[in-house]
Structure 1
Amino acid sequence: MAVAAKRDDRMGVAEYQDWVAGRPDDERWELLDGEPVLMSPPSERHQTIVFTLSRRLAELVEPKGCRVVPGIAIVSRHMDDIAPIPDVVVRCGPILPDGYASDPVLVAEVLSPSTMSADRGRKTDFYRAVESLQVFLIVYQDEPRVEVWRRQEGNAWRKQALGLDGAIELPEFGGALLVATVFAGLSF
């Protein structure tokens, strides 16, 4: 369960970065609507999906000079009150000096009961506003389902829901990811 830190005023990203740098290393925080939110430890099922998705994505993106980076925050120059940490980030370009990316090409959130509202609400709105982002995946862990949000011309977004027999088309990386492989080894 995520817990918001009690504060009287809202933080911007720079203040949050200073604040979180002073927290213990075993704590993971993200900034949502100006409030630091402590992230709870994920379930083994959640992490199995994150690991499998990361490994499968790496097979596609690394030959294109990109990499999968789990656990880094996404920031935008257009929104100063949010720095979410998606489960999976794909980015290209030089390695960052810190844990804050403003140029993701793909992000994925694996839904957890305690974070579902934020993941499908405020975070989804934020990710779609990040200019470099082309694909946003919402992966369910309690059913074999993936929502693929893809940027279209004119900054519109198209949502596609896929089941076990579907394929996540990733023309940005010259391939596709079978949904069944994301859930390999799990039963529903």
Structure 2
Amino acid sequence: MAIIGNEEFVYTVPGDPRARPLVDELSFEYESRYGELFRQIGESAEREMARYPDELFTPARGGSFVLLLRDGVAVAGGAFKHHPDPHTAEVKRVWADKRLRRQGLATRILAELEAQALRQGYRRFYLTTGFRQPEAEALYLREGYTALFSPDANREALRALPFEKHLASAAPVARIAASQPAELSLR
């Protein structure tokens, strides 16, 4: 895979202005795929996107949010938050700019999130994806995630498709302290 331009991972929060185009695009995608379902239950894609406050994705709260910047522009991003199980983090909002799909960006974000989760002391990732997101389902299966539902299950009846992955063993790492800088750039 060729890297185009100058790329770097930047740890920040979903409200970072650099993340706005990705967040807006993801919100539009949720609306286009699930809008009528949201309306049936009095919800919206906008409310779904706002359900998790930024602080859940900070190391102080056991989470993390990363952007992949290319020449200073966010091309992909993703996050995890603390899960009730102390050894588990829950992956949220892995997304790549729709104009740049098929470049392995989501795979790179997942790998970076997994590495960060290990640095923060987690040993397992849990996530759910929507039943109308076959690309996400394929990504997680390709990257070694285990589906926690039957392959023959009616996805529409399930609505949310759960997955897990046990992260590679590493020496125990203490959870990153709240004193970690708000932004960390890794090249």
TM bucket (normalised to shorter chain) is: 0.3 to 0.5
- Larger RCO of the pair (alpha carbons < 8 Å, separation 6+): 2
The structure carrying a bigger helix percent of its residues is 2
